[in-house]
Amino acid sequence: MKLVSVSSDQGNLDKNKGCSLAPAQILKGKEFEEVQIVSGNFEETDEAIYKKAKEILEKDTALFVGGDHSISYSLVKAFFETSKGKRALVVFDAHPDCVQFFKPLSHEDWVQGVVEEGFVEAENIMLIGVRKTHELERDYLKKKGVKVLSSVEVKAEGEQAKDKLLELIALSEEIYVSIDIDVFDPSIAPGTGYLEKNGLVEQEFFELFKPLLDSGKVRALDLVEVNPEKDNGKTVELAKRIVDFANNFKL
Domain at 152, CATH number: 3.40.800.10
Among 88, 89, 93, which residue's Cα sits nearest to residue 68? 93
Angle (CA) 83 81 27, round 5°: 80
Burial label, 153 (beta-carbon count in 10 A; 0-12, 13-18, 19+) = middle
pLDDT of res. 176: 98
Mean pLDDT to the nearest integer, 132-161: 93
Mean pLDDT to the nearest integer, 190-196: 93
Ranked by mean pLDDT, the top range of 80-84, 107-111, 112-116 is 80-84
- Give the model confidence (pLDDT) of 94-112 as tens digits: 999 787 655 555 556 789 8
Helical segments of 101-201, H only: 110-117, 135-144, 151-157, 159-170
Q: pLDDT above 70 covers what percent of the chain? A: 96
Mean pLDDT estimate for the chain: 93
- Looking at the structure of the chain, the number of domains it has is 1
**Parallel, antiparallel, or unpaired: how do β-strands 147-150 and 62-66 relate?**
unpaired
Q: How many CB atoms lie within 10 A of CB 232?
A: 9
pLDDT exceeds 80 at position 246: yes
Gyration radius of the chain over CA positions: 16
Q: How far apart are CA 22 and CA 25, in angstroms?
A: 5
pLDDT of res. 54: 98
At 205 the three-state DSSP class reads: helix
pLDDT of res. 12: 74
Are the CB atoms for 127 and 114 separated by under 8 Å?
A: no
Choice between 251 and 92, residue whose per-residue pLDDT is larger:
92
Query: If residue 222 lies in a helix (H) or strand (E), which one and from where to where?
Result: strand 218-224
Q: How confident is the model at residue 14 (pLDDT cuts 50, 70, 90)?
A: low
Among 251, 184, 249, 186, which residue's Cα sits nearest to residue 223? 184
Residue 6 domain boundaries: 2-247
